[in-house]
């Protein structure tokens, strides 16, 4: 489906046939938002062209983050709010609240200035910064329409120097926010068994440069070191001696080092639904220290439940109705865990007590009633969604379960 008229025709057909569909991204979301059973509309837009006006860039919605960053290179521009995976589509990443790690910037939607979409009535609508529904649309799980084009505000392109080191968890947990704010871009990996935190800190550096590629946060070194720590008690494996590195490179290469193919990722996503789970909690930065200490106690009480060490990042707060970082600077905690009781219930209870929201592109261990209470604009979002798609063409069992939809074709309410 290449053009907007074709998308509108697909919507009208769905209305006539009283069916629902979901727009396909790269399939990188790890939770039920990308069920294999949903009927999919594939956009298949040409991804070789962008429009650039000053620092505003417009791109097809199914272009990947990596592709856009490389097309921006000759224009001397970049988007600083992207996630680590190059192959996420712009729309899929933005709609699920994808983010990087920077106390200065917010999630990817905070770079959004305009979107074009085909509504559930088959109308083509532009939602820009001043539009009354802009704040509902930036993180909207595909429920407002089929997004065809997105305009982002970029910043001048630059290079980054990334330093990696390790600090004791006891030191980090005293003030996680200042650790994550000490450079323009920052992210960490916490190994609870080792009681240590590996920090990846990047600041701008002037060229010309000889690029030195970075290691991934969850790369082989992290896997081996945390395995040795967990299985053999060799906690010294998670140390600055092992991890200290300096990488230098273009901002896009440093911020988005993951180039896994969508096919590999989709296989892992299906496996993740059966075996380990991936949740990313979004904790109010004001409670970051308390949250980490309480999660630490939980993980110690249930040894063996974690698959990986835990990713930690900070972003600035924003105003999007369904954004997990709505209204507050946020510490994000990526937890990969094996299911099983009572661990899962205790994890969800702790997250609820801490007021932790969840990344929409990962598992949601919290009950729908809890999630609804976490978003003051939940009802306003539902009303906006109903204006854009009164017959719920874009609804699916996941959004029905959440209570965002449920009365339209195939719905349950």
Ligand X SMILES: Cc1cc2nc3c(=O)[nH]c(=O)nc-3n(C[C@H](O)[C@H](O)[C@H](O)COP(=O)(O)OP(=O)(O)OC[C@H]3O[C@@H](n4cnc5c(N)ncnc54)[C@H](O)[C@@H]3O)c2cc1C
In angstroms, give the least distance from the CB of 202 to ligand X.
Answer: 14
Applying CB under 6 A, does 20 fall inside the site for ligand X? no
List b or e across 11-35, with b for residues whose CB sees 16 or more CB atoms inside 10 angstroms: beebbeeeebbbbbbbbbbbbbbbe
Alpha-carbon distance 363 to 32, whole Å? Answer: 7
Phi, psi of 37 (to 5 degrees): -85, -15
- Exactly one of 66, 80, 92, 249 binds ligand X (CB under 6 A); which one? 92
- CB of 62 or CB of 330, closer to ligand X: 62
Q: Restricting to residues 236-275, name those near ligand X by CB under 6 A.
A: 258, 260, 265
Applying CB under 6 A, does 89 fall inside the site for ligand X? yes
Applying CB under 6 A, does 315 fall inside the site for ligand X? no
Query: Residue written as tokens 């983050």?
Result: 65
Task: From 77-85, 226-234, 295-303, 367-375, give the range in contact with ligand X by CB under 6 A.
Answer: 77-85
Query: Residue written as tokens 């209870």?
Result: 349
300, with CB counted inside 10 A (0-12, 13-18, 19+), is exposed
Task: From 140-148, 230-238, 244-252, 340-348, give the range in contact with ligand X by CB under 6 A.
Answer: 140-148
In angstroms, give the least distance from the CB of 101 to ligand X.
Answer: 8
- Exactly one of 88, 154, 279, 371 binds ligand X (CB under 6 A); which one? 88
In angstroms, give the least distance from the CB of 48 to ligand X.
Answer: 18
- Exactly one of 68, 146, 166, 310 binds ligand X (CB under 6 A); which one? 146
| Tokens read off for 377 | 């604009």
Identify whether the C-beta of residue 292 lies closer than 8 Å to the C-beta of residue 354: no
Applying CB under 6 A, does 154 fall inside the site for ligand X? no
In angstroms, give the least distance from the CB of 236 to ligand X.
Answer: 29
Applying CB under 6 A, does 276 fall inside the site for ligand X? no
**Which residues, in sequence order, are CB contacts of 359 under 8 Å at separation 6+?**
96, 97, 98, 279, 280, 281, 282, 324, 332
Q: Restricting to residues 23-52, name those near ligand X by CB under 6 A.
A: 23, 25-29, 33-34, 43
- CB of 311 or CB of 377, closer to ligand X: 311
Q: Restricting to residues 334-373, name those near ligand X by CB under 6 A.
A: 359, 361
Applying CB under 6 A, does 214 fall inside the site for ligand X? no
Alpha-carbon distance 413 to 400, whole Å? Answer: 8
| Alpha carbon separation from 332 to 284, 298, 335, 351, 357 (Å, rounded) | 9, 17, 10, 12, 9
Phi, psi of 112 (to 5 degrees): -70, 140
Q: Restricting to residues 47-66, name those near ligand X by CB under 6 A.
A: 61-62
- CB of 33 or CB of 154, closer to ligand X: 33
CA atoms within 13 Å, Cβ hemisphere of 232: 9
- List the Cα angle 298/32/264 in 5-degree steps: 95
Task: Compute the radius of gyration of the chain from its Cα atoms.
Answer: 21
In angstroms, give the least distance from the CB of 272 to ligand X.
Answer: 9
- CB of 195 or CB of 397, closer to ligand X: 397
In angstroms, give the least distance from the CB of 291 to ligand X.
Answer: 18
Identify whether the C-beta of residue 394 lies closer than 8 Å to the C-beta of residue 20: yes
- CB of 147 or CB of 351, closer to ligand X: 147
Residues found near ligand X in the complex (CB under 6 A): 22-23, 25-29, 33-34, 43, 61-62, 83-85, 88-89, 91-93, 95-96, 98-99, 141-142, 146-147, 258, 260, 265, 359, 361
């Amino acid at each position: 489906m290449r053009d907007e008229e074709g998308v509108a025709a697909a919507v009208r057909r769905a209305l006539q046939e009283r069916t629902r569909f979901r727009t396909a991204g790269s399939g990188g979301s790890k939770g039920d938002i990308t069920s294999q059973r949903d009927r999919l509309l594939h956009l298949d837009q040409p991804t070789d062209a962008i429009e650039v006006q000053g620092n505003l860039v417009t791109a097809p919605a199914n272009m990947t983050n990596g592709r856009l960053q490389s097309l921006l290179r000759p224009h001397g521009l970049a988007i600083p709010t992207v996630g680590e995976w190059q192959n996420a589509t712009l729309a899929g990443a933005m709609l699920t609240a994808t983010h990087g790690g920077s106390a200065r910037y917010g999630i990817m939607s905070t770079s959004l200035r305009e979107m074009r979409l085909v509504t559930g009535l088959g109308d083509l609508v532009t939602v820009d910064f001043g539009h009354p529904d802009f704040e509902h649309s930036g993180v909207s799980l595909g429920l407002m329409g089929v997004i065809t084009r997105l305009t982002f505000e970029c910043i001048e392109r630059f290079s980054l120097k990334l330093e990696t080191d390790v600090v004791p968890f006891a030191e980090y947990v005293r003030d996680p926010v200042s650790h994550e704010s000490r450079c323009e871009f920052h992210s960490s990996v916490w190994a609870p068994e080792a009681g240590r935190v590996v920090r990846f800190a990047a600041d701008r550096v002037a060229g010309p440069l000889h690029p030195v590629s970075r290691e991934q946060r969850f790369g082989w070194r992290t896997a081996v070191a945390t395995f040795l720590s967990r299985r053999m008690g060799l906690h010294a494996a998670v140390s600055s001696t092992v991890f200290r590195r300096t990488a230098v490179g273009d901002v896009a290469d440093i911020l988005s080092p993951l180039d896994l193919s969508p096919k590999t990722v989709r296989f892992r996503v299906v496996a993740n639904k059966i075996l380990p789970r991936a949740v990313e909690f979004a904790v109010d930065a004001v409670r970051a220290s308390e949250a980490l200490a309480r999660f630490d106690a939980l993980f110690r009480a249930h040894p063996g439940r974690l698959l990986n060490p835990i990713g930690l990042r900070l972003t600035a707060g924003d105003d999007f109705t369904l954004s997990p970082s709505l209204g507050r600077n946020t510490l994000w905690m990526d937890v990969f865990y094996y299911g099983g009781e009572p661990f899962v219930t205790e994890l969800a209870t702790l997250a609820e007590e801490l007021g932790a929201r969840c990344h929409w592109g990962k598992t949601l261990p919290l009950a729908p009633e809890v999630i609804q209470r976490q978003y003051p604009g939940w009802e306003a979002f539902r009303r906006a969604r109903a204006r854009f798609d009164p017959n719920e063409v874009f609804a699916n069992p996941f959004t029905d379960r959440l209570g965002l939809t449920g009365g339209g074709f195939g719905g349950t309410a």
